Amino acid sequence: MLKHWQFERYPAKFSRMTRDPNKIASVRISESISVGPGHRLLVICGPCQIESRDHAMKCAATIQKIFASFPNLSLVFKSSYDKANRTSLSGQRGVGLDAGLKILAEIKREFNLPVLTDVHSVEQAEAAAHVVDVLQTPAFLCRQTDFLLGVSKTGKPINVKKGQFLSPEDMRLVAEKIASTGNKNIMLCERGASFGYRDLIVDMRSFEIMKKSGYPVIFDATHSVQSMGGAGGASGGAREFVAPLARAAVATGIHGIFIEAHDSPQNAPSDGPCMIPFAELPELLESISLIRTALGNG
């Protein structure tokens, strides 16, 4: 016969996280952009890594031009100065912290766009906080308490990615660590769950579960189709699933979506198989924009 804790464990765990979804806090990204209930859908978009100043500037200009046709979407430009979690030591990592932050600052100034980048240490977070509008914590570091606290203490909005190994219920505990510093500008980002050794799968229930934390929920549509290390020491992916997963996630009522895009994904130094070509980006944005409007949030 089962003991009471054996069959009550999951419901009890879930109930501690239960809140009225209407009480989800809004997070202010910039003077004109906030994410959460009642605000436009946030779209975090850009190339995986900063390849050069000229390439990053061209990407920002192209993306901004594309988004001009979608006034019900809010754009935050994203790119990484260092891809510190490459599968192989030989993987290209980017231009580095100092050069990358200079480029992101120029993009922010030239295009009047909020910018986001990921950080891999407290020291990087402190430096990046002087430039970027949103700090992103990598999925593999979502359980590193001192790292999360250090990033949180910058006071910047944080997009914290859910580890592929973590349940959506446990993101409440991640958020509590960050909020313990007094910084409640938190977004919780789903990027899939491990399905075997290399592949990921997206459980649509996770969006509703993470909403109950009281913080806006973001979906990383491109990293969720990764095959980690599945391309001979580099990450492979299945780009054809990005659009259907993105549409399904937006239909659940999430607050933002993360889409990496590139002018020539086949030539990108990282995550090329997952990124959306610029030529295909308008069609994807149009579909999620229409879904958003159909939900009454357009």
Task: Specify the higher pLDDT residue, 241 or 93.
Answer: 241
Tokens of 51: 């390849």
**Amino acid letter, 290:** L
Q: What is the mean pLDDT of the chain?
A: 89
- Average pLDDT for 186-193: 96
| Domain annotation for the chain: domains and CATH numbers | 25-292 (3.20.20.70)
Q: Which pLDDT tens digit goes with each residue over 277-291?
A: 999 999 999 999 999
Separation CA 24–CA 17 (nearest Å): 12
| Beta-carbon contacts of residue 177 (< 8 Å; ≥ 6 apart) | 145, 148, 149, 152
**Res 149 pLDDT > 90:** yes
Tokens of 125: 């977070």
- Average pLDDT for 156-167: 96
**Res 197 pLDDT > 80:** yes
Number of neighbouring beta carbons within 10 Å of residue 117: 27
Q: Which residue has the tokens 């600052």?
A: 105
Q: Which pLDDT tens digit goes with each residue over 81-137?
A: 987 665 555 556 779 999 999 999 999 999 999 999 999 999 999 999 999 999 999
- Average pLDDT for 194-199: 85
Give pTM, 2 decimals: 0.89
Share of residues in the chain with pLDDT > 70 (%)? 87
